[in-house]
Structure formats: structure tokens, C-alpha cells
RNA sequence: GGGGGUGUAGCUCAGUUGGUUAGAGCGAUCGCCUGUCACGCGAUAGGUCGCGGGUUCGAGUCCCGUCACUCCCGCCA
């Protein structure tokens, strides 16, 4: 009990009948019957119906009160008659007969109603985030976030992990995302960077002998936003372990995520044990390294078909000759789908900037036949071969895309989602986790044609050092892995390279001289030279986990105070200009455009 | 940096082929109403149709430009 309340707005029941109570909260909703006024009083915990009659001296004032005014109400708990009980409400057995009230916080006319399930523009929601956050759905999302984080913390500690904080002001790193930069007053002309992740620190913690580390770590990357990617900051469950191999990390994370998703959701798992898919296989079957495994459609390579003489689909044949590839998606039993189904997919494909989505449907009369716009170009023998490769059967349809490899992969990946969506093949009530493993250490830069790190340069290459084929770096895989759930990349991690000599060699392949590496990663390399344990870790994205648990498609729905797409905080007016004096202290001047 | 979508009352939206005075619901204000829980009924106020330019006898509607929000591509080791 405080000055403001004896109970919260969700705890009173018929057991409290007759008690004099004090409640405080927001005036959620009024129902004014002229001589009888109902007020729903809301706080963090729930709502309670309060009531007063015309003869009450406060009637006029409360009747006119702006919704969302914060009031303190004193009154008597009164059992409702049977007919007037509200079963939807936890406190629906009772109501408060108001004796007196007090305004604690007045409220102006609202720019957006709190009591409503309607959707509002992001702009107004973000500007008045404190009002938006009073609304039921997002309010409970944020509470869920808090609960999930506490649970994760408990579980990690139970498993012997130790939580540490790492610096927020650190140094800019040359690899990876664009850094947020902070000027240094004491070191004119020099800058801090906000950490993109505590990557080097967590490795240093291992070198320092702490064995098992975790942190709910803020990470900052100055990159453009997406629905599942806030500009500015996001949170990772940062984990690092000493004396482990890949499988040891998998065990810890798989157990944790299973527990979290089972505790906070009723959705079922597609696979109890997370399947492991190599990067190569994922790119072939799904066209992406973050496949949605709820989607049963798979992609097949059918390039060889278009090298046959009995296939006369000249456009594809020619493209294949000049190095393009063809990938296909089979849809089961779509023979009787209306023409519009196929036409709409083709239209969609064109809107994606491709030349369209070729298709036919397999039929059988005397022999195998293909019906549809391009069916006539395929001989019966060729169709048999296609069926062999793709597993397609009579009555199924096959969709084709032909282009340069990277274009086909990307397009077929979205075509897979699109087609499955049209056919309603995705079970929304399921979580489909998987590990993506065996990432290549290097890739060829599309623009420069040079070899570069494809992911984290600190990852350990797979295999014995002496057996590594440094002359063919594209053949080297790394102990690098991702967790994907329902097509959302949840985390990536790696076994780290803790051997400085090997590291120099790997950097050299990517075009870094020894002196470059020493300059850029001095602290790290130095530390690894003084007895570093083998170690590895991972960093699941907290925001995306909550998103999946809350069933939201947008990360702002699980973030208290997010920025908009242009990385502005409309409520706090950030970023903003700073004074001449501040600039001067920082030895900065602004270049006028 | 590029592409798509959206922008009309405080909020959510409708607005036909370019044609008279731009509408509805919620909210606000006023009035009526003693059992509602999306209370009901009646009335009133509320608009630079994002902004600028153009075409036209006439533009919310068509064209050009621009701004804002959003989704996507690039980017995100």
C-alpha cells in the first residue's frame, strides 16, 4: 500500500467485496449513461470498472474528464449482479463505487487514441511513443521482452556462464559494417567508434581466462534499416566459451533456444533437433543462407536440360551457352490451378525486375507432355529427365528461372517464398530452426574480382593447418555458423582463430600485409601471442528472438524507443545539431554544403 | 545511392471518367439517457486534399518536380 493505491487495477475480486480501496491509473474508457457513469481505470496490471451515479458530487467533473488522465480513486468494492459480470476481465466480478477522486496527471487532447486496436502511422506512433506504449499489444510485447531477457540471463548463469560488460567507446574496426563515430575531446582529431559487437573484447575475455562469458550486449551499426533491422542499436546475447569445438557451442545454444521458445510460445517445433545444412546446400536448395524451412518447396538445378538438342526453348538454351544457369521449383498437384495463378506469378516475377517466370504443368496422355506457354519446347524424354532431377510427377507444375548464378539464387529464393505464400504452404504455427554450417572462409569480390573474407576474418579454418590449400582459398571452409528460424537469421558465430601465425597467413590471402594486420588488430594479435585458449562463440539477436516469439514482422514492435528508417528519434529529436561551443571543444567544424 | 507503396479532418480511411458546397467512423464540444463493458441517441465544430509548379473553362483526381513515412535492393565481416 502506498499513498496512491491499496491495490493495482487487476487484483480485486468478489473476495474484496465491501472493502474501501484506493486505486490509481489512467482513465481508459468512459461509458456515460447520463445518470450513471462507468469508468475503466487502467494500470500496468489490468483494468477495473469504476462507477458513480448522478447524485455524486464528482459526477459532472468525471463525466467531462479527458481520457488518459491519471486519477486516484477512493471507493468501495462492490460485487456485481450476475447479469453484469464481465468474464473477459480479471476484475469483472466487481466494480468500485467511487467516493472521491483526485487528478494526479492531467491529459491534453490525444494525438492518437490509446483505447483502440486500430493501426496508426509509424510517424505518429514514434513521436508519441509513450502513448503508443500504453496500448495493449505493444505494452505486452515489451513486457515479454523483459521476461525473455531475465529468463535467458538465469539460464546462462545456471549453465556456468559469467556476465560482463564491455566498453561502449572503443576503436573503429576496418572490417564489417559502418561504425558510429564519437569524437574525442581529449584527443583532438581522434575518434572512438561504438562497438558493432563486442567481438574482440569477448575473445580477450577468453584470453584472460574467464572461460565462459555472456552479455546482453548492445551493438551499433550505422547501416540502412530493414523491417527486421533497426538503424542504430540492437541487442545480442553475446556468448563466448573456451576449450570448445563447434558442437559444444551448438549444444549450449540449441538447449537455450529450445527452452526459451517453449517457455514463451505454444507454437510447435518442426524439428526438435535443429538440422544442420551446409552453406552450399542451402544456397542450392533454397537460394539463400537463411531458408524458411516451414516452406516445403525446394529448388533444383536443371541447367543440363537446356543443353539437350530435344529442348528447343531457345532463349534459355542461348543463355545457358553463355554461362547462365537454370533453377526450378516444383509445386505439387497444381494442374487445376486457374490460369490467373500462373499469370500472377509471372507478373510478380516481372515486377521483381526479372524477365518472368517460365512454367509448365506435367501431364500424361500416351506420353509425358508439358502444358503451358513453354511446354511445347520440351520433348517427352527431356520431361522424364526433369522429373528425375526434380522429383516432379504428373499433375505438378514446374517454374523456371534462367540468369547468371547470383541473380537466379536471389530471385528463386524470393520466388520460393512467394509461391509458397500463394499456395498457403507455410504453417504459421511452427518454428523451424536450423543451423547453417561450413561457410566458406573467402569469396570473390563481385566488383574487384579479388579474394576477400566472406564473413568473420577471425574464424578458424576447417581442417589441419598443414592440409589447408592456401593456393585455392575458395576451397577453405571456416568453423563459422548461423542459426536460422523461419527464415530469420537469428545469430552467427564461429570457432575463433587463436593462432597469430595462421591469422597472418589468412589475412595475407585477403590482401593484408603483416604490418596492416598488426596495425589494425594490434591488441587482439598481441593478446593471442601470450597463451590463448582455443575458443568460440555465437551471438543470437535478442530483438529478432522476441519478434519471433511475439509473432511480429517488424522489430519496432518489440523495441521500446526505436528510431525511424532515417535513424531519427522523433520523440527525443535525435540526432540534433550541437552548439558552436561543443564543436569547438571537440576541435570539429561542420562543412557547409 | 536505386526501385515500389502511401500521404485527404486530431486519428483511421472513402472520394467514380477531371465537374456544383470534399464525405464516413472514431475522437472533441453541446444536449438526452441508471447497467454499460466497442454503451446508445441527437446536434455542432473541425480541411492550404504533404509542398511547389504545370495542363485545363475547371484538378483531391492528370503531368513534372520536391518532401515525409514505409517496404525492398545496395549495405549489414
Cβ A136 to strand B below 7 Å: no
DSSP letters along A299-368, please? EEE-GGGGGSTTB--HHHHHHHHTT-EEEEEEETT-TTS-HHHHHHHHHHHHHTTSS--EEEEEEESSSE
Q: What is the ipTM of this complex?
A: 0.91
CA distance A62 to A301: 71
CA distance A524 to A569: 35
Tens of each residue's pLDDT in chain A, 593 residues: 899 999 999 999 999 999 999 999 999 999 999 999 999 999 999 999 999 999 999 999 999 999 999 999 999 999 999 999 999 999 999 999 999 999 999 998 888 889 888 888 888 999 999 999 999 999 999 999 999 999 999 999 999 999 999 999 999 877 789 999 999 999 999 999 999 999 999 999 999 999 999 999 999 999 999 999 999 999 999 999 999 999 999 999 999 999 999 999 999 999 999 999 999 999 999 999 999 999 999 999 999 999 999 999 999 999 999 888 999 999 999 999 988 888 888 888 887 777 788 999 999 988 899 999 899 999 999 999 999 999 999 999 999 999 888 888 888 998 999 899 889 899 999 999 999 999 999 988 777 778 888 888 889 999 988 888 888 999 999 999 999 999 999 999 999 999 999 999 999 998 888 888 888 888 888 999 999 999 999 999 999 999 999 999 999 999 999 999 999 998 888 999 899 999 999 999 988 65
Residue A570 CA, nucleotide B51 C1', distance (Å): 21
What does the DSSP 8-state code read for residue A484?
Answer: E
Please give the nucleotide, over all strands, whose C1' is closest to the CA of residue A97. B35
Please give the nucleotide, over all strands, whose C1' is closest to the CA of residue A119. B12
**pLDDT value at position A452?**
85
**pLDDT value at position A593?**
58
Q: Which of residues 206-225 of A touch strand B (CB under 7 A)?
A: 221, 223-225
Nucleotides of B under 7 A from a protein CB: 1, 10-13, 26-30, 32-40, 68-77
Bridge partners of A361?
A371, A397
Cβ A445 to strand B below 7 Å: no
CA distance A589 to A364: 76
DSSP letters along A375-396, please? GGGB-HHHHHHHHHHH---TT-
Residue A32 CA, nucleotide B10 C1', distance (Å): 22
**Cβ neighbours of residue A29 under 8 Å, at least 6 residues apart?**
A39, A40, A67, A115
β-strands A191-193, A162-163 pairing: unpaired
**pLDDT value at position A500?**
92
Element containing residue A501 per DSSP (H, E): helix A500-509
Cβ A117 to strand B below 7 Å: no
**Cβ neighbours of residue A540 under 8 Å, at least 6 residues apart?**
A236, A237, A239, A253, A257, A483, A490, A491
Q: Which of residues 70-109 of A touch strand B (CB under 7 A)?
A: 80-81, 83-86, 88-89, 92, 95, 109
Cβ A122 to strand B below 7 Å: yes
Cβ A67 to strand B below 7 Å: yes
Residue A346 CA, nucleotide B19 C1', distance (Å): 40
Residue A120 CA, nucleotide B25 C1', distance (Å): 15
The Cα diameter of chain A in Å comes to 95
Lookup: cell for A152 = 535467458
CA distance A391 to A405: 22
Q: Which of residues 167-206 of A touch strand B (CB under 7 A)?
A: 175-178, 196-197, 199
CA distance A34 to A36: 6
What's this model's pTM, rounded to 2 decimal places?
0.94
Residue A388's CB is within 10 A of a number of other CB atoms, namely 9
Please give the nucleotide, over all strands, whose C1' is closest to the CA of residue A353. B3
Amino acid at each position: 500500500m502506498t499513498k496512491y493505491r491499496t491495490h493495482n487495477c487487476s487484483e480485486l475480486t468478489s473476495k474484496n467485496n465491501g472493502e474501501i480501496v484506493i486505486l490509481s491509473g489512467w482513465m481508459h474508457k468512459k461509458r456515460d449513461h447520463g445518470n450513471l457513469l462507468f469508468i475503466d481505470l487502467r494500470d500496468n496490471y489490468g483494468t477495473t470498472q469504476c462507477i458513480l451515479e448522478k447524485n455524486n458530487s464528482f459526477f459532472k467533473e468525471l463525466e467531462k474528464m479527458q481520457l488518459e488522465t491519471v486519477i486516484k480513486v477512493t471507493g468501495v468494492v462492490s460485487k456485481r449482479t450476475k447479469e453484469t459480470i464481465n468474464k473477459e476481465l480479471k476484475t469483472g466480478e466487481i466494480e468500485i463505487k467511487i467516493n472521491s477522486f483526485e487528478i494526479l496527471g492531467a491529459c491534453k487532447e490525444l494525438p492518437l487514441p490509446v483505447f483502440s486496436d486500430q493501426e496508426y502511422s509509424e510517424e505518429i506512433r514514434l513521436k508519441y511513443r509513450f502513448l503508443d506504449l500504453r496500448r495493449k499489444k505493444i505494452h505486452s510485447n515489451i513486457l515479454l521482452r523483459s521476461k525473455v531477457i531475465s529468463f535467458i540471463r538465469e539460464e546462462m548463469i545456471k549453465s556456468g556462464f559469467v556476465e560482463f560488460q564491455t566498453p561502449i567507446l572503443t576503436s573503429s574496426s576496418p572490417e564489417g559494417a559502418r561504425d558510429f563515430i564519437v569524437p574525442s575531446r581529449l584527443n583532438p582529431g581522434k575518434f572512438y567508434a561504438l562497438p558493432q559487437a563486442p567481438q574482440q573484447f569477448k575473445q580477450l575475455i577468453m584470453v584472460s581466462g574467464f572461460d565462459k562469458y555472456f552479455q546482453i550486449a548492445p551493438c551499433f551499426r550505422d547501416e540502412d534499416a530493414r523491417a527486421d533491422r533497426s538503424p542504430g542499436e540492437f541487442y545480442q546475447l553475446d556468448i563466448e566459451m573456451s576449450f570448445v569445438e563447434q558442437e559444444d557451442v551448438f549444444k549450449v545454444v540449441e538447449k537455450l533456444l529450445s527452452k526459451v521458445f517453449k517457455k514463451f510460445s505454444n507454437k510447435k517445433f518442426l524439428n526438435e533437433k535443429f538440422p544442420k545444412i551446409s552453406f552450399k546446400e542451402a544456397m542450392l536448395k533454397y537460394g539463400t543462407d537463411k531458408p524458411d524451412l516451414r516452406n516445403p518447396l525446394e529448388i533444383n538445378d536443371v541447367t543440363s536440360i537446356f543443353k539437350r538438342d530435344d529442348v528447343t526453348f531457345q532463349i534459355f538454351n542461348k543463355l545457358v551457352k553463355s554461362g547462365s544457369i537454370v533453377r526450378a521449383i516444383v509445386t505439387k498437384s497444381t494442374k487445376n490451378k486457374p490460369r490467373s495463378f500462373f499469370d500472377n506469378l509471372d507478373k510478380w516475377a516481372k515486377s521483381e525486375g526479372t524477365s518472368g517466370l517460365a512454367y509448365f504443368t506435367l501431364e500424361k496422355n500416351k506420353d509425358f507432355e508439358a502444358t503451358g506457354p513453354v511446354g511445347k519446347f520440351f520433348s517427352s524424354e527431356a520431361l522424364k529427365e526433369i522429373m528425375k532431377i526434380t522429383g516432379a510427377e504428373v499433375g505438378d507444375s514446374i517454374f523456371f528461372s534462367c540468369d547468371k548464378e547470383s541473380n537466379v539464387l536471389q530471385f528463386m529464393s524470393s520466388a520460393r517464398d512467394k509461391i509458397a505464400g500463394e499456395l498457403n504452404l507455410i504453417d504459421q504455427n511452427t518454428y523451424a530452426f536450423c543451423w547453417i554450417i561450413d561457410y566458406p572462409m573467402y569469396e570473390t569480390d563481385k566488383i574487384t574480382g579479388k579474394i576477400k573474407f566472406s564473413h568473420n576474418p577471425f574464424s578458424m579454418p576447417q581442417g589441419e593447418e598443414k592440409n589447408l590449400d592456401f593456393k585455392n582459398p575458395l576451397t577453405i571452409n571456416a568453423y563459422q555458423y548461423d542459426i536460422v528460424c523461419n527464415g530469420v537469421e537469428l545469430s552467427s558465430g564461429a570457432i575463433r582463430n587463436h593462432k597469430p601465425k595462421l591469422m597472418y597467413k589468412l589475412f595475407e590471402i585477403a590482401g593484408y600485409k603483416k604490418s596492416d594486420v598488426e596495425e589494425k588488430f594490434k591488441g587482439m594479435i598481441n593478446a593471442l601471442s601470450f597463451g590463448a585458449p582455443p575458443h568460440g562463440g555465437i551471438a543470437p539477436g535478442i530483438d529478432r528472438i522476441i519478434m519471433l516469439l511475439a509473432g511480429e514482422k517488424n522489430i519496432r514492435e518489440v523495441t521500446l524507443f526505436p528510431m525511424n528508417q532515417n535513424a531519427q528519434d522523433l520523440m527525443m529529436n535525435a540526432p540534433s545539431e550541437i552548439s558552436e561551443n561543443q564543436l569547438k571543444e571537440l576541435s570539429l567544424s561542420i562543412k557547409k554544403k
